[in-house]
């Protein structure tokens, strides 16, 4: 049996005490087929000293839920893991980069299609007026630059009351009505290979596609060629050795696919919709460990 560490939430994090063990158990069922055992370790116990992570074949940050509540500490942890040569999957430098949505603007500078975007250190009426004017949009989406699970995300029309960001840097984008009709499509990659594709749609009256908001998920047997091309372009542009990646995309009103998120830290793999139930992930992990030993 090969042991890998799976990083879990801070023990003081009260939002997920009953959920993450269930997700860990689901991951373990997938890893069983490859003879791999996942050992849970809170990520916050390894911020300044990564000695507890040495000796594991790989360290997977798949359950570091809540890291966005303590981003400075997260960045420090990534520095520690890089400095101490921890066998992270994905690389710690990627985990740091991917934790701030400014990465979307960097990808856009390399030709990746994303929604029009404005970054602001705070949200004011002036910032919103500017966004409505620049985007020509009827509605906006406002979300923190560092966030997860639609935390503090707002959908705003002109004149709506809004919650000030209180010093939290925010990303402002036009709301894409296609999310209600076409949904968001996620392409899951393990070891650089496409594993499965999932379409996620919000329930009536909602714009968020997460399960906790009633999102409806179903597998897509064959992705649209444009969707696949964008996902492959994103991975090529990131250009890092990724064990796993989830590329979330949405078409605009003209049918052009746009990147919403490249989830490279702790994405839900949607194993319940994966025909192989995570076998591809387990195989990619085993292959990566075998390559390390050569």
Residue 94 has a pLDDT of: 98
Locate the DSSP E strands across 75-192: 118-120, 139-144, 154-157, 170-174, 184-190
Q: pLDDT tens per residue, the chain (294 residues)? A: 999 999 999 999 888 888 899 999 999 999 999 999 999 999 999 999 999 999 999 999 999 999 999 999 999 999 999 999 999 999 999 999 999 999 999 999 999 999 999 999 888 889 999 999 999 999 999 999 998 877 788 899 998 888 766 778 999 999 999 999 999 999 999 999 999 999 999 888 777 778 777 788 999 999 999 999 999 999 999 999 999 999 999 999 999 999 999 999 999 999 999 999 999 999 999 999 998 877
In the chain, the N- to C-terminal Cα span, in Å, equals 18
**Cβ atoms 68, 261 nearer than 8 A:** no
Residue 61 has a pLDDT of: 98
* pTM check: above 0.85: yes
Burial (Cβ within 10 Å: 0-12, 13-18, ≥19) of residue 126: exposed
How many CB atoms sit inside 10 A of residue 254's CB? 6
| Of residues 271, 279, 269, 197, the one with CA closest to residue 30 | 279
d(CA 243, CA 192): 7
Residue 212 has a pLDDT of: 77
Phi-psi region at 124: left, alpha or beta (left = phi > 0; alpha = psi -120 to 50):
beta
Residue 101 has a pLDDT of: 96
Phi-psi region at 125: left, alpha or beta (left = phi > 0; alpha = psi -120 to 50):
alpha
């Amino acid at each position: 049996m090969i042991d890998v560490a799976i990083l879990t939430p801070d023990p003081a994090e009260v939002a997920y005490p009953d959920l993450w063990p269930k997700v860990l158990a689901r991951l373990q069922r997938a890893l069983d087929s490859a003879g791999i055992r996942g050992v849970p370790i809170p990520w916050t116990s390894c911020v300044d000293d990564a000695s507890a992570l040495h000796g594991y074949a790989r360290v997977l940050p798949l359950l570091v839920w809540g890291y966005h509540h303590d981003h400075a500490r997260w960045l420090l942890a990534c520095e520690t893991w890089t400095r101490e040569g921890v066998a992270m999957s994905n690389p710690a430098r990627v985990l740091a980069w991917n934790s701030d949505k400014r990465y979307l603007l960097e990808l856009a500078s390399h030709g990746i299609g994303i929604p029009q975007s404005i970054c602001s250190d705070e949200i004011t009426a002036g910032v919103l007026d500017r966004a409505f004017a620049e985007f020509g949009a009827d509605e906006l989406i406002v979300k923190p630059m560092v966030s997860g699970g639609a935390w503090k995300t707002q959908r705003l029309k002109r004149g709506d009351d809004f919650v000030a960001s209180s010093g939290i840097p925010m990303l402002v984008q036009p709301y894409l009505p296609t999310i209600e009709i076409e949904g968001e499509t996620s392409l899951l990659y393990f070891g650089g290979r496409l594993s499965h594709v999932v379409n996620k749609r919000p329930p009536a009256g909602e714009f968020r596609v997460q399960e906790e908001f009633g999102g409806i998920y179903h597998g897509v047997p064959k992705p649209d060629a444009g969707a696949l091309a964008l996902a492959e372009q994103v991975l090529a542009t990131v250009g890092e050795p990724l064990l796993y990646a989830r590329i979330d995309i949405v078409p605009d009103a003209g049918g052009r696919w746009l990147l919403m998120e490249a989830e490279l830290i702790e994405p839900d793999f949607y194993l319940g919709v994966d025909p192989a139930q995570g076998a591809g992930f387990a195989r990619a992990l085993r292959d990566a460990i075998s390559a390390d030993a050569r």
